[in-house]
Amino acid sequence: MTEAQLAVIMFVALIGLVIAGFHVAFVLGILSLVFGYLAWGSDLIAMLPARTMTMMTSYEMEAITLFIFMGCMLEQAGIAERLYSTMHLLMGRIRGGLLLGTMIIIIIFSACTGISGATVVMMGLVAMPAMLSRNYDKGMIAGCICAGSGLGVIIPPSIMLILYGPVAGIGIARLFIASIVPGLILGVSYLLYIIIRCAIKPDLGPPLPAETRKGVTKGRMLLLVIRDLIPPVALILGVLGSIFAGIASPTEAAGVGAFIAVLLTAAYGRLSFATMQKALHSLAKTCGMVFLIMLFAGFFTTAFMALGGAEVIKGFIFGISGGSKLGSILIMLIIIFFVGMFMDWIGTLLVIVPIFVPILKIIGADPVWFALLFCIVLKMSYITPPFAYNIFFLKGVSPPEVTDGDIIKGCIPYIFIQLPILILLYIFPQLSLWLPKLMLN
């Protein structure tokens, strides 16, 4: 059996075992050990400690840890609940107001956490019961939460972009800046969809009755906005602004953001030993999962490359596309989409991106531009049945009356919203490239 055939078996085994329900980290670890031994023999044992130490001492790990801690602390501070109660009063009087408010909160909270799954669960627990009790359409609620929460992968400081940078050899600040315009386009498109749907069919999102807002004066409303809305927005703008302005590196900005998140939790009266314990426990679980997958994915990719897997994938892509840029990009995005349906985003990124980066150089595609296409396609796979992580997360916290069919029906329109935006970004690469050139040059 040739090394190329072993590489194909390795990749097929990865997808097959993940579909079968085995945890992606352990699948990556076992396959990398088995096929790594076939590639290097006993030399594999000497390589593992060095690779582990290199990854664990990299500055990217510090940034990831601190950004995740910032999100954990803001979650314990009750940011989402405060934002929702304020948006409830601020926008409830218009058609679809709670959906619009929820989407705006999701955009803000996505910037706070940078992780899609955390936002789905939080907003499913906080926003869904309130909207169901006011006769909002179940599909519209589910689609808003599932699709909106996926914005966390593209809105900075996205953990996905932080991981993508070192894997692809791109500066994290450049990726953050490049993602601003696509993220805004997606967010505005979602808001417009809700406005149009609720204008055509008001029963999907009826306005709140006047008695619900009775007693809330303009002064009281202003106070709620200053107390609940401005602090988290100012925190995110401050963290990102320091990176964009070159004042701080992503790691330094993450450290400052984590410290301010602790102060904000204290200002809201939620800082205690129990709160800190919960935040650190959540941090340990999340970082443990991320680091384990990163470590084993690194082993897997190294073994796959050593067996000539990159050449197999390149030959497959160029064989179908004929070497054209459009055909090659399209095939790569289709591969990302289907792999993302079966495997979590960390494994998908760490396995696929190192294989695709050399191909991008050959066809002359800008790596920053492709990174944004990658994130949007992976975001689409989150809400595309039959394997859709955000749908699974939301179903896990939804009331019994919300069925799988309701959630899927609500997500489908957002898939068709993202598709033309993806095409738009392909046709006009400068939508994602002009701002980094302007700010970094």
Reported as a pLDDT band with limits 50, 70 and 90, residue 386 is low
Percent over 90 (pLDDT), the chain: 6
Which bin fits 156, alpha (ψ -120 to 50), beta or left (φ > 0)?
Answer: beta
Reported as a pLDDT band with limits 50, 70 and 90, residue 245 is confident
Reported as a pLDDT band with limits 50, 70 and 90, residue 387 is low
- Domain residue ranges in the chain: 3-440
Residue for token pair 């909207």: 131
Structure tokens at 180: 């601003």
For CA atoms 155, 59, 69, 122, give the dihedral sign: positive
Give how far Cα 79 sits from Cα of 184, 229, 311, Å.
22, 9, 48
Mean pLDDT of 230-238: 79
Residues 331-345 have pLDDT tens digits of: 999 988 888 777 777
Mean pLDDT, the chain, as a whole number? 80
Residues 209-222 have pLDDT tens digits of: 666 556 566 677 77
d(CA 199, CA 176): 34
Reported as a pLDDT band with limits 50, 70 and 90, residue 225 is confident
Who has greater pLDDT, 396 or 181?
Answer: 181
Phi, psi of 89 (to 5 degrees): -80, -35
Q: Is the pLDDT of residue 53 over 70?
A: yes
